[in-house]
Every structure is written in structure tokens, then in C-alpha cells.
Chains A and B, each alone.
Chain A
């Protein structure tokens, strides 16, 4: 095979610390290399044309590009060699940027290392074989996990685009965090007024099937053909019959149930509909608090229900759905702030979270929109807001900035003044993060028009003094310690990955970062893709986000799905395992270890043999490293290809 080698300067990114010309020169000495050169920007149009030209001129059988990471441009260059009539797999990359030029300044060592990597690539290339992908049919339905604003956006966009959508929501209503908000920044328009209609659209859209109070149990298959096992948790209410009239709620005698929707501000009934605008507007029983389910007594709801939909025997139900793509929009949860002993660690009732405050502000909330101290129901006068609780704090393992707390705190300060004109708000902050259209103007208004007192500094402790809370913080601009007698303290608690996010990631086979947020395909260029084909991200599951960005991602994810489904067939990745039938002795070790059950037993002249099902094989290669006689080989990563790399690097 005649090989061409192209060593990229990547402007100065590589050239600055690697002598690319020397690398090219060295490459010319490698066996099989018929042409080698260094180029300014290999990925640019002229750069690619140069490759095409060289292939034609020197009739090259394979190409090596030494530049950035293959995770960046392997696809690009495969298309390039294809344009020149080569099979896309007769191409190899040497990563001399991320793995060389960017991690050290020693030009000699870098050049030398680059030469090694190029040698390795050429050696592998000589063992490459043309591979051809197969086409397979796809199921043009999409699963949306999570019914928050991001999920809703993605679902509606897909549905309007003509796709069948299956939405799975963990709680008994969609709406997510946004549904709990009173108003939204920076426009201060009513959250439920703008979200409500979208929720109704989801309920009414002919293309959308909604499974509320359900969770993902199992995910199998691959892009185009996923098989999803959904667990419908027992609600003890037959939702086909329930009309959401709410009589059961009025009559239910156990009124001490935790009110999750209201963030524990106030209590609710054992059988409940989270809030008036809930979608679906159906009742469910919280088994922990229902005396019928715990003690076997009561049964009031069954008696009063006009449609007779109560069923205390109800069990969890499992449903299988087939889809071709998945949008994950599982959102975030609030950081457990009780680790802050200095803020009372949860012992002081009048220290609450921002989300709890939202429920208090909301007219549909437990206090009917009146701001009251949880301890004694009194109207607070001095309200202290503390920012960065569980954000930008290494000591609690949350070094990142949640990003939207500054804004919602400003909003809450403004709303507080509207609700209680006599009140005075204080905000302890470190920096104000107000990037975004009209955002900074908004925080300025909080100070200029609403006279919110912004104090730059963290709070070191809160402790009760009489019926007030003494908040002791710093004003670093004054350079002194300050104290505020507060009636109510609201903590701007930061966001963390949703509970169970990592478990779901394992089912989806996508990766997540140290904090449990899902990893996008590429930080810049693949913001809503993941490294698993057919799985996309929307909203805060990828990292803390405010409403506009979540919605934007929801639409972006939908666009990706619609794009994927614009074809009737997908091409399978030919980097899969094949069995050399004469080498196989039918011991079945590969079958035992394949994570996908992609290898089955067949018979050949009365002898047992292994056989790979190409569309199911994902190309991990466990079988190849398991088979003692090397009968099953993962194409493009065969034993010989890897051995040739080893030999290229370690020449005795």
C-alpha cells in the first residue's frame, strides 16, 4: 500500500512546539510511505484538496493525517479520502496536538514523539482493510425522558415535526422546576402563564404519549432501534377513569403527607393532585401516608370518588416502547444545603431555600402567595438572601457556579418588595453573574428601584436571637464584619445533578462528569449530542441552565432527532467483529462475554461455530480479547492492527 502522510501545523497550535517539516521528512523514510508533507491547516478546504490531489497524483492507497485528536476530525478526513475514491477506513490519524504540542514545550521531545505517533499510524494503516457499512431500517419514534421545560420543548418540536413522541416523567405531573416558580426573570412574567399552555399542548398533542409517574427501567438496542422498558409506578388510582375532580383530596382524612410540589412548605393529603394546573390532572396516593395502605383502615377516597377509580391493589406496571432516538431532559436537583452547620443545618425553620420561597410567593402555593415565616406565620420585615450556597464552594465539593441564582435572587428581592412594601431585603453575594439579554439591567433595577441592599461577602453564621435570626457576614467592600437581624433567611441554593442521574446514564450508556452532569459529545461543536449515537441531551441534565438556555437546548435536541430521522435508513458502523469460521472451535467464550448478546451459535457441517449479528454488535472488542485462537476479530481494531502499533513503538 502506498501511503501519504500529512503533518498539520494547525496554525501555530502544533508548529509552535513540533517541527512538522522534520516529522514529514522522517515519515518519508517509513516503509510504504510514498508521499509526506506538512500543511498549514489540513482540515481547511485547501488542506483537504491537497490530500485529494496527492491521492490522485501518487495514487495512494491510504492516508495518515497527523494533527488534532481523531475525536475531532476523523470523520472529516474519512470523507476527504472518500472524495478521492479511497475507502474511508484506509485512513489513520496521529494525535500530535492534544497529546503532544499542547502538553509540553520541549520541541525536540515533541517532534520525536510525533514521529513515533506517525510511524504507529502508518504501521496500523498497512494492516487496515476497506470496510463497508450496511444500511438498516429505523423506527422513527423518539423517547423524551423528563417533562420539565426542556423536555416539553423537545417533545413538542419533535411532535410538530411529525414524529411520534413518548414522554416519561418521574413525578405525577410534568412542568418540572419551572412549574414551581412564581415569576421568571428578567421579564417577571408569570411562570405558569407561559408554561401552562405548553403543558396542555403536550397533553393534547396527537403525536405525544405521556407516561407520568413512570421511570425508565431498562434500555436495550442501538440508534434507530432502541427498546425501552418503562415502569409505571402504582398510583392506586385508575387514570383512565380519574377526572381530576379533586373530591378525594377534600375528603382525605390524612392531611400530613409531605408536599413535594411545594418543597415541604405546608402539608398535603395522602391522595393528591400536586397543583391545579397539573398535567395530567390525575390523583395519586402516597402510600407512606395513606392509612388504608399502611393500616388497612379508612378507604374514604374510594367511597367518595364519583368515577370509582380508586384501586388499593394496584401494582407497578411495565410497558415496552420501541423508539429510534432518545432525548434526555432529566434536569437538576437542589444541593442538600444541610451540610452548612453554620447556617443552622436545617434546624431553624425560618431559614429556607429559594425554591421554597418561590412556592410562598406563588398565588397557587400553600400560603396563597403571602410571605409568612414558617415558624410563627408572621410577616417578615428584614429578609436576607444568601447567594452561592452550594455553589463556588470547594469545601462542599461544589466548585462550579450554578449560574442562575444571582438572577432568581434579584427577582425574589423585587417580588418581595411588591408583596411587602414595608420590607427590606439584603443580598449577600460574591459576584453578580448577570450575563444574558436584559439580565444586568434587571439586577440593577433590584438595587436602584427596589432598594435591595447588596452586601459583597459571604455569611459565616446564622443563629437565633430572640425571635429573630442574627445573620453575621462580611462586607468586603467596607472591609468589615456586618450583622443583620433577619426575620427570614432565603438561601440561593445551587444546582446539582438530578438524583439517579448516574444510574440512568449507565442505562443509556452515556458518560457523566465528576458531579453527575451528562457529558456532551463535544464542549463546543456537539452541545446536545452524546457519545452514544441516537441519545441527545436537553436542559440542565448537562449542566445548570436557566429557562431560556434549557428551551434552546430542547429545540436543538429536537432538530438533531428530526435530522437523524430525515433518512429512512441508517448506515451501520462497520467497525464490528467478524468470525473467521475455520479458526472458530465453538467453545462459546465470546458468546458468554458479549455485553449485547450480539454473538450467537451456528452450525457448520455439524460443528458449533460463533456468528456475530452485525447490527447488534457495538464494536467493543471484548470477544476479540477473549478468544484464545483469535478467531473473532474486531474490524479496524484487529489483533494485527494493534500488534503492528505495539511493534512500531517497541522495536526491541
Chain B
């Protein structure tokens, strides 16, 4: 296994707020696996969805500034937990390969944009660079006992030509990790369906319908919890779960973890450092079930 994994790390805005626990757990897990993360100095917003809905040059310019920051660290690639940031940073690099477009972007920047810096997701480097087998070796508290489903969201691996990661219709990265952690993984059919994304505020009704459908499906296949890799997905499914229940009068009580949180637990980290307490839907029952199952196993052993 590669002993000296070392990356520039771009947290993204939501890590300072609504997805703070994703950031915490990502850092904690990487630390536990001796993966060194170096924060991108004075990073700014990638522009997210709103920017590219307004204009592609603006969007790429906002991303380009951060790619420059990475370059200033003397590195040629960085990683981020957030798929939306990932998409923007990758798209910027890709589009700026076209000279005409690059010039337009440079018009908006202080100094000409760097076009060499590539971006990967935390998930991608965990499965590709670190390796599921090696993760397995590090497990101290297997996640036995409860069935989890993996939900990837729409842009983690799409469009395939750009993202270059996992299967575009049936990604398996998180499923494989969860399996390695000892969890029972139920095949989630709507892995790449949209959750309603950034419409939570302007068009809540959309999120209610789409996220509702996801939760129904998850329940339908007997998942007790979902793992996600996306702040927006997690927010829509977790923070808004109560709203969803009201809107569709359903009665979901399904914990929505960041995959890094469950990884952390399996690697023996504390709930505190993984920000488990920051989840809106309480994961207590599920976690306790896992704990008890473990103890059963231990006694049996």
C-alpha cells in the first residue's frame, strides 16, 4: 500500500456550515489512515450550481482562483469531499483547455489561470489510491448488524467523460467500502437519482417529492440507514426528512450518514470527532444495534 498519501484539501463552503460533520469526519478518517491533508490556503467558493447557471466563464473563474491557490502550494492536484465543488473544479480545468474559453476566464482574473491542477473526490482517493482492501485491514469495530444503502447523488460520477470515476449508472465505491467495514449492504436502485439539489429553499416542494421518493425506495428495500457522499443530498435527506414526512405524510426515521462517519466508527474513532451528534435524524437505534451485534460477536469469540 502507498504509505505516503498527501493531498491538497479543498473543504468547500458547506463544510463551514451545514455539512460541518462531513468535513470533520473526512479529516478524522484521513488522519486515522495516515493520509495527510493540507488545506488549500485562503480558498474561496467554487461558485457551485448558481454560478454555472448564470455563466460558464464566471463559474470557471471562481473555480480557477482556487486551482491557482492549489498550484501556489506547489501541488498539481487536490481533493474535496463535496461533489458540487468537485464538478465545478473539474469542469473549469476541462473547459480551460480550450484557449478561447481560457482567455475569457483570464479576463476575469488577477493573474492567468492555472490549467494543470486536477481534482478528485475524497471518496475516489480512498478507493483508488488507498484501496478498499487496505481500509478493511484497518477496521477495528466492524459495522455489523444493520443494513445500509449507499446513495451517491447525481453528479459524483456524471458525466462519465468528465468525472472519470466509477460506473455512471451503478457506482459501487461506497458499497464496497461499507462492505469492507463489515456492514450489510442492500443494493439501492436509485443510486444516481436527483434528491432535489439546491432547490430546498426556492422550491421546497421539489425536494419533498424527490427526496421522499428516495426515502420510500430505501425503506422499500429494507435499508435502515443511507450513506451519502454529498452535502446537499445529506441535507435534503436528513435535515429535511421531517419536512418530507409532513409533506408526503410518511413516517421515515432513517439516519443519513456521511460515509466517512461510518468509516470513522469502524476505524474506532469517537462519535464526537465524527460529528455524529450533528445529524438531525438520530442514528442512535442503528448505532446501538451495531454495537450490541458487535458485543455479541465478541462474546461468541
Contacts and interface: CB of A to CB of B under 8 A. Distances in A.
Contact of A341 (B168, B217, B220): B168
A108 interface: no
Instruction: Give the size category of B's interface with A.
Output: under 10
Interface string A462-477: 0111100000000000
Contact of A345 (B170, B190, B217): B170
A201 interface: no
Nearest to A342: B169
B220 A466 contact: yes
B167 interface: yes
Contacts of B168: 341
A77 B266 CA distance: 83
Interface residues of A, number: 10
B189 interface: yes
B52 to A, nearest CB: 23
B149 to A, nearest CB: 13
A347 B168 CA distance: 15
B218 to A, nearest CB: 13
Interface in B245-301: none
Contacts of B189: 463-465
Contacts of B170: 341, 345, 347
A67 B225 CA distance: 75
A473 to B, nearest CB: 15
A188 B220 CA distance: 42
The listed residue with most A CB atoms (<10 A of its CB), out of B167, B169, B190, is B169
Contacts of A341: 167-170
A466 B222 CA distance: 11
Contacts of B190: 463
A41 to B, nearest CB: 50
Nearest to B169: A341
Contacts of B187: 347
The listed residue with most A CB atoms (<10 A of its CB), out of B167, B189, B190, is B189
Interface string A323-364: 000000000000000001110010100000000000000000
A544 B217 CA distance: 41
Nearest to B188: A463
A345 B169 contact: yes
Interface in B152-183: 167-170
Contacts of A340: 169
A199 to B, nearest CB: 42
B167 A465 contact: no
Interface in B170-222: 170, 187, 189-190, 217, 220
A470 to B, nearest CB: 9
A630 B172 CA distance: 64
A389 to B, nearest CB: 14
A150 B85 CA distance: 57
A466 B189 CA distance: 11
- Closest A-B pairs by Cβ, 5 of them: A341-B169, A463-B189, A342-B169, A341-B170, A464-B189
Given A347-B170, A463-B190, A465-B189, 15 more contacts: A340-B169, A341-B167, A341-B168, A341-B169, A341-B170, A342-B169, A345-B169, A345-B170, A347-B187, A461-B169, A463-B189, A464-B189, A465-B217, A465-B220, A466-B220
Interface of A: 340-342, 345, 347, 461, 463-466
15 contacts: A340-B169, A341-B167, A341-B168, A341-B169, A341-B170, A345-B170, A347-B170, A347-B187, A461-B169, A463-B189, A463-B190, A464-B189, A465-B189, A465-B220, A466-B220
